[in-house]
């Protein structure tokens, strides 16, 4: 039993962590173009080779795996915040149960809150666990433990590494796209000013506006494609994390939390393929069925 606990608490790259590299690769071309644009501006003031500039930008993302940086920057980047005292107390009670069961120091991970009316949670970086405010306010201590165990499983399976790298690569792409849309508005306004004065200037302005618009949407479409690939991989990672939760002994708690999702009307499989592309989570009903089957196969007394 001690040996099993020791294996559970160790981080180990699984197949889904490796597969998660695919959406990151899909981002690289757009990322290189975006970084090249910022490099061109930078070298107007300080010369540095593009390779060195790009490598420095890339490896700077490694700071997102440092706990203090996750507390100060990453959680804000993901739209999360530091828990209030009441939220921290609630989270800590459930988190200590999960951490103790896996022989992990409770302070090793950063707990954060995302303001949301849905039962939701996610993991990022090397230590960040984000839980929705609804889950903290409405789940019992046991059920919240099941949710936290699921997010810990993502960290133990190293599922968050490629995800966090992808989030970092997305930043310059989004920034460049926003700059593009801003320039589009400027060019459009300038076109309106000169349209009555020069048909040639109007043509140039409209051409420039159209080009900037196409480039900006092209960048965003690359992010969308990467997200679709990531979502396809993510569904398998969710099932794998659920299996780990059951092996930890928190399968029943997670099962009960997922049943609440179903009661809220969010557990059905979408009938539209487009809707299935934009979600990284399998249907709650499917997850419930798989967890229940795994629990039935375990010897009596092995799950809580």
- Asked whether the beta carbons of 169 and 24 are under 8 A apart, the reply is yes
Q: Apex CA 178: angle with CA 76 and CA 131, to 5°?
A: 25
Q: What is the mean pLDDT of the segment spanning 183-187?
A: 64
Average pLDDT, the chain: 83
Does 209 reside within a domain?
yes
Collect all residues with Cβ–Cβ distance below 8 Å to 26 and sequence separation of at least 6: 222, 225, 226, 229
What pTM, to 2 d.p., does this model score? Answer: 0.81
Q: pLDDT per residue over 19-30, tens digit each?
A: 999 999 999 998
Task: For residue 230, name the pLDDT band (cuts at 50, 70, 90).
Answer: confident
- Strand pairing report for 128-132 and 121-124: antiparallel
Per the model's pLDDT, the better-predicted residue between 301 and 207 turns out to be 207
- Residue located via tokens 């005292």: 85
Domain containing residue 267: 2-297
- Residue 275: pLDDT over 60: no
Does 161 reside within a domain?
yes
Does 303 reside within a domain?
no
Q: What is the predicted pLDDT for the residue at 203? A: 59
Q: pLDDT per residue over 38-55, tens digit each?
A: 999 999 999 999 999 999
Per the model's pLDDT, the better-predicted residue between 2 and 103 turns out to be 103
CA distance 23 to 165: 10
Does 304 reside within a domain?
no
- Residue 219: pLDDT over 50: yes
- Residue 218: pLDDT over 50: yes
Most confident of 183-192, 215-224, 250-259: 250-259
Q: What is the predicted pLDDT for the residue at 207? A: 64
Q: What is the rounded end-to-end Cα distance, in angstroms, of the chain?
A: 15
Q: What is the predicted pLDDT for the residue at 102? A: 93
Does 116 reside within a domain?
yes
How many domains does the chain contain in total?
Answer: 1
Q: pLDDT per residue over 85-126, tens digit each?
A: 999 999 999 999 999 999 999 889 999 999 999 899 999 988
Does 219 reside within a domain?
yes
- Residue 263: pLDDT over 70: yes
- Residue 142: pLDDT over 70: yes
- Residue 272: pLDDT over 50: no
- Residue 304: pLDDT over 60: no
Q: What is the predicted pLDDT for the residue at 232? A: 82
Residue % of the chain over a pLDDT of 70 = 79
């Amino acid at each position: 039993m001690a040996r099993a606990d020791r294996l559970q608490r160790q981080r180990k790259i699984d197949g889904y962590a490796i597969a998660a590299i695919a959406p990151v690769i899909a981002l690289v071309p757009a990322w290189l173009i975006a970084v090249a644009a910022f490099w061109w501006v930078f070298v107007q003031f300080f010369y540095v080779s593009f390779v060195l500039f790009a490598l420095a930008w890339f490896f700077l993302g490694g700071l997102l795996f440092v706990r203090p940086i996750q507390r100060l920057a990453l959680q804000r980047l993901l739209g999360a915040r530091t828990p209030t005292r009441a939220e921290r107390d609630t989270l800590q009670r459930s988190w200590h149960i999960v951490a103790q069961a896996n022989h992990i120091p409770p302070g090793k991970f950063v707990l954060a809150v995302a303001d949301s009316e849905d039962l939701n949670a996610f993991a990022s970086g090397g230590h960040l666990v984000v839980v929705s405010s609804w889950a903290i306010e409405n789940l019992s201590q046991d059920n919240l433990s099941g949710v936290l165990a699921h997010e810990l499983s993502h960290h133990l399976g190293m599922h968050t590494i490629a995800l966090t790298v992808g989030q970092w690569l997305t930043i310059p792409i989004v920034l460049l796209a926003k700059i593009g849309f801003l320039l589009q508005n400027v060019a459009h306004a300038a076109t309106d000013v000169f349209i009555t004065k020069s048909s040639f200037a109007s043509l140039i302005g409209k051409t420039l506006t159209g080009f900037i618009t196409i480039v900006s949407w092209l960048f965003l479409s690359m992010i969308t494609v990467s997200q679709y690939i990531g979502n396809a991989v993510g569904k398998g990672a969710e099932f794998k994390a659920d299996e780990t939760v059951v092996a930890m002994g928190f399968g029943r708690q997670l099962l009960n939390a997922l049943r609440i999702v179903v009661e809220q009307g969010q557990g059905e499989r979408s009938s539209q393929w487009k809707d299935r592309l934009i979600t990284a989570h399998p249907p709650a009903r499917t997850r419930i069925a798989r967890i229940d089957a795994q629990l039935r196969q375990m010897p009596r007394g092995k799950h809580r």
